[in-house]
Structure 1
Amino acid sequence: MMNFKIPCGQQKLDLTLPDEQVVGVLESNIGTMKATGTEDEIVQAAMAKPYGGVKLSALARGKKTCTIICSDHTRPVPSKHIIPFMLKELREGNPNIDITLLIATGFHRLSVEKEMRAKFGDDIVDHEKIVVHDSADADANVKIGVLPSGADCIIDKVAANADLLVSEGFIEPHFFAGFSGGRKSILPGVCDRKTVMGNHCSKFIDSPYARTGILEGNPLHKDMVAAAKMANLAYIVNVVIDEDKKVVAAFAGDPFEAHLSGCKFLSGYCQVKAVPADISITSNGGAPLDQNMYQCVKGMTAAEATTKEGGVIIICAECADGTGGDGFYNALKNCESPQALMDEILKVPQGETQPDQWEYQIQSRILIHHPVIYVSRPEMKQTIEEMKMHYAPNLDEAVKMAKEIRGDDATFTVIPNGISVIVRA
């Protein structure tokens, strides 16, 4: 028998399967990476030798204001090991520079103080100027240009008006932007909802290049790069984290060089070959990334890439924050079928993209081809079933349900962390 630990919330669920039925175990090799120092030392070393050759302290000279774009509560970015060093170097270059931390909430709900204290620590929350971006507050945002797609590029005024704009972040595979990090701190990070929806239109999401680990030819990525350039994003500190969410590599400096180098580095550890199976078991990497169903579509896309047509996808996710979006929930709850919903989505023009449309478009794509079983907390049962999926109270029950669909001799592919891998056909 083969034994596995599948992340779910703050715990790991036990899974045991017969050896002969497991045809693939897809895991990143991040765990094999040997860190060359502490998390702080790794970040400081990257900042000491930035891509592009210009240090943050040099960029700060002569600038009156600086905005540091920071990740929000949905991202496991180890900000405590990044932001203090960015603040320190900025003030070394210019002791009088006026710094604002801008929380990049994108299209998510606003971060609350408790979440910011957990992310940054009390000292930063108590002593630094912090603004939480609100994509729905039109008065707080300003148009700075037009994207290649034709959508207006509208960003937070705190970013647009800064003399120096920099950001932190982390790089991971992303299910339609290719990778997180870099240019994503601008779009969708600090963009107005109109810009986010224009970029996340049905045509772009439907592109075969809008997939995990793909940048070249990806229409969303093209818009995101353009937005970052229009916003004059000058410098980033992006990290790669391991399964324990610890920094194992860092990339600092020019936003485009540093990010691309980080993506290439990560690909070498995350790329895995698909092993088609009747049943695929995955997760969204545990808390905080499995806090809602909206986020968990990401983990499902890894399973989607390695599950046979009609095969079952099992995802383990606590969903402590529920669905993560009313639009996402209602679209799936109220549709006649996933196919009917998809047909409707593909008719929506770019300028009329609806909130959460991209997420239920991808969820629909998955459901058209695969039954999905959620292993989650009991309170989620009704919601999961309303959204055209199946609920299981534990992994054993989920496996039993999946076998009833695909047979007792069904094959399995196990992806312990669905957002840590880039599955290639």
Structure 2
Amino acid sequence: MRVRLDYGKVGLEVEFPDHNTKAVLGLKPTVPLENPTKAIAHALRQPIATPALADIARGRRDACIVLCDITRPVPNRLLLPPILETLHRSGIPKERVTLLIATGTHRPNWGDELEALVGGDIAGSYRVVNHDSKSLSAHRFMGTSPNGVPIWIDKVYTDADLRITVGLIEPHFMAGFSGGRKLIMPGVAAFYTIQRWHCPRFLEHPLATNGSVRGNPVHEEALAIAKCVRPDFIVDVILDEANRTTGVFAGDLEQAWLTGVEFAGKHVRAAITEPVDIVVTTCAGYPLDLTFYQTVKGMVGALPAVKQGGTIIIASECAEGVGSPDFAQALWETSDLEAFVRYISQPDVFVPEEWQVEELAKVVRHAEVICVAGGISAEKLTNCFVTPAESVEEGLRMALAKHGESASIYVIPRGPYVIPTLC
């Protein structure tokens, strides 16, 4: 059978052996909104568990709107105009509105990326600021979480009279689902705060994974921190495989997000009867597969579908290479991932970007990883604890040679956006 895999901006067409391939795992079909603009306007007027945005905004002196960075395909060109228009009608002028890009520890977004993110008119007319997690002086201390995490949050956000977040609800490999509280933590948190949240005591918990909310310590800590600097209003969307809007959920930080999560959960879970020998997956194509750092998400997402000792083949373009210098250094200075996890589990030990290396360790302790990444050399991929392959077809030949010609295969074209679920 021939299957299209999400890879970069174009995708890959791959032929899979029919007798080996048990299933292609994808999102359940959903009907995109017939009129997304109308649905957004309705969500702003009749939100979940808050007054209408216009009523909340009335009398406020200024506003900060927190946006996802370029790695998330949020339809800001649809969402921002009605939000901004509502603020202006409520008395907040354009010059008192700041768009804050929630980069977390990611790189800033500039130039053409800003236009792609919000549209040329908005990028040229409003103050747009990239969050900088490394500049502690740009953050305000807001106390300590119940688990002892010091809460430092971007002053642009904390000092705004009206605080709004705009995000996307999709599976998240640590926090269960994205959106909601994640725009604040880690979106606009200081690196000092993020490093104490992205730590083994939270990440090694079995519920700190895709699609898991209740009992997930990563989610619960992020929510506790976000509630300390609660947004006045959130707007989260859900997208289908073609990035068309299928749902808009606006209002209260917790209630609107949970309503969206319930909706999303019905469509992102793919039923499986048992794990298989080989899983072929992706990092969902551009923009998520820009780096190997993000590619780890696709690997983690495949874990429920692959047998212990099986093989994950992941196709991820990685046009920007491995990722941040800190992540690359952490990988290349490590010869043993399990020893690395033991090291960072010690009190007061911290390695920049340790959390993503730890997630990679989760993967390779369970399965071999073969990686097809046009933007990274074979030598560098080997140093990333994966086996390089020139193509998915080559990766399949390698995996079938290992597991036998009768080995079973699942294919996950959308990678981490799909949650394989045993039933």
Q: TM tier, shorter chain?
A: over 0.9
**1:373 matched to which residue of 2?**
370
Q: CA deviation at 1:270?
A: 0.9
Aligned match of 2:321: 322
The correspondence for 1:36, drawn from 20, 33, 40, is 33
Counterpart contact for 1:58–1:93, Cα < 8 Å? yes
**What TM-score results when the alignment is normalised by the length of structure 2?**
0.96
Task: Name the structure 2 match of 1:270.
Answer: 268
Question: Paired residue for 2:194, among 190, 193, 196?
Answer: 196
Separation in 2, partners of 1:136, 1:305: 35
1:123 matched to which residue of 2?
A: 121
Cα deviation per residue 1:284-336 (whole Å; 9 max; x = unaligned)? 11000100011111111121111111111000010011111223223332322
C-alpha distance in 1 between matches for 2:104 and 2:146 = 20
The 1-side partners of 2:364 and 2:253 are apart by 37
Equivalent residue, structure 2, for 1:23: 22
Choose 258-267 or 96-105, whichever is displaced more.
96-105
Q: How does 1:336-347 map to 2 (within 5 A)?
A: 336-345=335-344, 347=345
Pair 1:279-2:288 in alignment: no
How well do the aligned residues superpose, as a CA RMSD in angstroms? 1.5
Shift of 1:126: 0.9
In 2, Cα distance between equivalents of 1:92 and 1:352: 50
Per-residue Cα deviation, 1:112-133 (whole angstroms, up to 9, x for no partner): 1221111111111111111111
Tell me the residue number matched to 1:405. 402
Show CA shifts across 1:327-377 (max 9, x none).
3223332322233323323x233x543221111101011112211111121
In structure 1, what residue type is equivalent to 2:105? F
Match of 2:54 among 52, 57, 61: 57
Contact 1:148 1:222 in 2 (8 A): no
SS of residue matched to 2:143: strand
Residues 202 and 348, structure 1, Cα contact 8 Å, conserved in 2: no
Maintained 8 Å contact 2:45/2:54 = no
Aligned length: 420
Q: Within 5 Å, which residues of 2 pair with 1:148-163?
A: 148-163=146-161
How much has 1:164 moved relative to structure 2?
1.0
The answer to whether the Cα contact below 8 Å between 1:251 and 1:262 also exists between their aligned partners in 2 is yes
Given that 1:378 and 1:393 are in contact with CA atoms closer than 8 Å, whether structure 2 keeps it comes out as no
Distance 1:378 1:205, change over 3 A: closer
Unaligned runs of at least 5 residues, structure 2:
none
| Among 54, 59, 75, the residue aligned to 1:78 | 75
Deviation at 1:378, TM superposition (A): 6.0
2-side partners of 1:299 and 1:38: how far apart?
31
Q: 2:247 aligns with which of 249, 265, 270?
A: 249
* Structure-1 residue corresponding to 2:219: 221
Asked if the contact 2:33–2:245 (Cα under 8 Å) also holds between the matched residues in 1, the reply is no
Structure 1 distance, partners of 2:113, 2:34, is 28
Residue 359 of structure 1 aligns with an amino acid whose one-letter code is Q
2:45 aligned residue: 48
Provide the C-alpha distance between the structure 2 equivalents of 1:96 and 1:394, rounded to a whole number of angstroms: 52
Match of 1:308 in 2: 307
What one-letter code is carried by the residue in structure 1 that aligns with 2:140? V
Instruction: Choose 172-181 or 87-96, whichever is displaced more.
Output: 87-96
Offset, 1:224 = 1.3
Q: Write the distance in 2 (CA, Å) between the matches of 1:376 and 1:48.
A: 45
Counterparts of 1:95 and 1:206, CA distance in 2: 45
Tell me the percent identity: 35
Where do 4+ consecutive residues of structure 1 move more than 4 Å? none
Q: Quick one: distance in 1 between partners of 2:173 and 2:230? A: 26
1:95 deviates by 4.3
Q: Structure 1 unaligned segments of length 5 or more: list them.
A: none
